[in-house]
Structure 1
Amino acid sequence: MNGTTLQIRGYHCDAYGHVNNARYLELLEEARWSFLEPAVKEKFFDTRDLLFIVVNINISYKKPLVPTQVVDIEITDVTYNNKSMIVRQT
């Protein structure tokens, strides 16, 4: 659907040399905002009195990310109704 390419930096990593689990949330957030940027620019949320608030996150860690690695975070599925939106990222 939609993807964001990010490079892993040293500040994303912990003392073990891989991305700290809390930093994954920041990387995923960056990709979500990139995905939503056109709607934000068009004031889609503002004109409808909508807020974009994360209330639940589930992460399945597959393998470590390390400095200088380039990752593609894809938005693979979006479902929504009048009260919520579910975004699947890989």
Structure 2
Amino acid sequence: MQGKVQIKVRGFHLDIFQHVNNARYLEFLEEGRWAFFDEFNIGDDLLKQGIIWAIVNINIDFKAEASFGDVLEIDTQFTKLGNRSITMKQRIVNIANDKLVVEADVTYVCFSKEHNGAIPLPDDYRKKIAQAIG
């Protein structure tokens, strides 16, 4: 399963050089993950149980610049399933020229507020994620 969301680059996304500021890419990636989780229907039920996905690692590889007016597509997919963690691959592509702008790997742990620590993924979500990975 792969989720996609588009973001148009606005003036407030830019740095002094008129390129998207590196910190804004974190926000773009986060928007992509939230949209993916909405589509995958994985967020609300866990929150009611006091379980959240806590990011423990993000690796970002900046490939090309993006500028004002560019429309960027954020592709998100699961790539790895651990006992207490999941890893996602995200790619940001400029849709005007199909150029890869950013590539990122994001690792989450399943975190229980009640236990104040990482816990194994609930079985129903583990199965759903494993099926999405293929």
Q: TM-score, normalised by structure 1?
A: 0.86
Give the alignment partner of residue 40 of structure 1, picking from 39, 43, 56.
43
State which structure, 1 or 2, has the greater radius of gyration over its C-alpha atoms: 2
Q: Match of 1:56, SS?
A: strand
Aligned to 2:73: 72
Aligned to 1:9: 10
Q: Distance in 1 between matches of 2:18 and 2:48?
A: 44
Q: TM-score, normalised by structure 2?
A: 0.60
Deviation at 1:86, TM superposition (A): 0.4
1:39-71 per-residue CA deviation (whole Å, 9 max, x = no partner) reads 224x1x235542111111111111001111001
Q: Match of 2:59, SS?
A: coil
Deviation at 1:87, TM superposition (A): 0.6
Aligned to 1:50: 51
| Structure 1 spans left out of the alignment, 5+ residues | none
2:3, 2:32 within 8 Å by CA — same for their partners in 1? no
Deviation at 1:85, TM superposition (A): 0.9
Q: Distance in 2 between matches of 1:49 and 1:84?
A: 16
Q: Match of 1:59, SS?
A: strand
- Give the alignment's Cα RMSD to 1 decimal: 1.5
| 1:2 maps to amino acid | G
Q: Distance in 2 between matches of 1:76 and 1:40?
A: 15
Aligned to 2:90: 89
In percent, how many aligned pairs have the same letter?
34
Q: Distance in 2 between matches of 1:7 and 1:35?
A: 18
| 1:18 maps to amino acid | H
| Structure 2 spans left out of the alignment, 5+ residues | 92-134
- Work out the number of aligned pairs and report it: 88
